[in-house]
Amino acid sequence: MSDKPTIRICLGSSCFARGNEKNLQVIEKYLEEHHLQDEVDLELGCSLCQGRCAEGPNVIVNNQRYGNVDPGMMLELLKSCFEKQ
């Protein structure tokens, strides 16, 4: 069992078009600005459609699904993920 944070963003066409493209950019920028790319063991992955398109964009952080994730919420999720590190 791994202790590293996990973040999975839905890359289904609806979620991607509705904001997960921007959420991915938020993640990349956050990691770079906080110099976490090499210092934190992060598993960042993608998933195909989760079947919850109406609630998208969907993101799974540490096995908890979040819907309607905008860049501000993504930033808060990242902060909560890494404040424990």
Bond from prior residue into 57 cis (ω within 30 degrees of 0)? yes
Looking from the CA of 15 toward its CB, the CA atoms found within 13 Å total 26
Q: Spell out where 1-85 has E strands.
A: 6-10, 43-47, 59-61, 64-66
pLDDT 10s digits, 25-63? 998 899 899 888 765 555 566 677 778 888 999 998 888
Domains, the chain, ranges and CATH?
6-76 (3.40.30.10)
Beta bridge mates, 65: 60
Q: How confident is the model over 62-73, as a mean pLDDT?
A: 94
